[in-house]
Amino acid sequence: MKSVAIGVWIKTGSRDESDAQAGITHFLEHMLFKGTATRSAKEIAQHIESKGGYLNAFTSTEYTCYVVRCVDTELESSLDVLSDMILHSTFPEEELEKEKKVVLEEMKMYKDSPDDVIFEEFSSMMFPEHPLGRPIIGFEPTVSGFTQDHLRAYTSERYQPHNILVSIAGNVDHQNAEHLIERYFSSAKSHSDASRELQKPNVDPTASKSLTKVIEQTHMILGRRGLAFNDEDRIKLLMVNTLLSGGMSARLHQNIREKHGYCYSISAFAQSYIDTGVFGVYIGTDASYVDHVRDLIHQEFEQLKQESVSEDELQESKTNLKGKMLLAQESMSNRMMRLAKSYMYHDRFITLDELVDEIDAITPEDVLEFSQRFFQKDVFSECLLLPES
């Protein structure tokens, strides 16, 4: 193995933004590729790509990550480029104005995607008047108003040593990696007045919302608030999610797509955050099937509440969940991301053996008891995206 995956993680995401800053974390991520005091935008990309490497970044609600995949001999040069981007970007005015247009086109792209539209609307329902309910990309008025001073101020506040985590996986010597990180990131400046103050989500909402768009299918999400990363029941929720939607043999696929032919795509999802989460079932279906599909989904929830899962089905879902975790470790990028998230959300590295033991310890009684608490019909909300008449 000659590959290395590097991730420089910043503990700041869209939920760290004020209303006036909506979208600045994502916009800043774009602008860090646009030039430093010593490298142009082209030179940044060329330095990585000319050696066969890959450079990218992504922004989430709670973190930003800058990623390089490279051969092991390019570890130092890649850390050099990443640290230069993160610590010495200059935000050229002409690049800033161009990138605003790029991001506004990205917004339009999302608005053209029914999947993106309904998940964005669902988030706004789950977290009304809260940063978690806003689109990560922000809004046209806020993005259009960003200036160099806004970016410099946000970088100074959020891109500080205590908010920076470097995760590396692959053919790398640990001591050498520590030495290189110290060399290239030690100039990061600290400010004493920038502790992370996250706005707590308000009371769990229940709501129903529908909107229309020029599309062929109806898109629906039935969902509720989920569980935080550190919630002791989170592994049970992941197990229930696997029972419902772990593949083509799982309950939702079998009982709604295979039995009735009501959809092509149906899936359950469980997203966790620092202090909360979301759970839901998404489906794309014909408008005439919506009422029956809704009933069938709730029937699946009711079955989990009323009937213990068989030992065979539970064992199959355990093997499914463990297998996906283990297979993911064949990717250096996945290893790097799991390592980083473990430290960000748990302050330590949680081994695969620990996770496997947690999964293996779940019993049919655990699934039943959890489902009876979690799948209360009156806590579920519904979001519909309907074809225009």
Take residue 41 and report the two structure tokens written for it: 């935008």
Residue 159: DSSP 8-state: S
Write the DSSP assignment of 260-274 as a string of letters.
Answer: T--EEEEEEEEEE-S
Q: Find the catalytic residue in 29, 95, 121, 316.
A: 29
Take residue 227 and report the two structure tokens written for it: 């569980």
Length of the chain: 389
Q: How far apart are CA 372 and CA 368, in angstroms?
A: 6
Q: How far apart are CA 291 and CA 296, in angstroms?
A: 9
Residue 210: DSSP 8-state: E
Rounded to the nearest 10 degrees, the angle between the axes of helix 93-111 and helix 24-31 is 120
Cα–Cα distances in Å, from 302 out to 266, 297, 307, 326? Answer: 18, 9, 8, 31
Q: Which residue has the tokens 């108003």?
A: 145
For the sheet containing 277-285, what is the strand order? Answer: 208-213, 381-387, 218-225, 277-285, 263-272
Terminus-to-terminus CA distance in the chain, angstroms? 56
29 annotated active-site: yes
Rounded to the nearest 10 degrees, the angle between the axes of helix 148-158 and helix 93-111 is 80
Report, as residue numbers or ranges, the catalytic residues.
Answer: 29
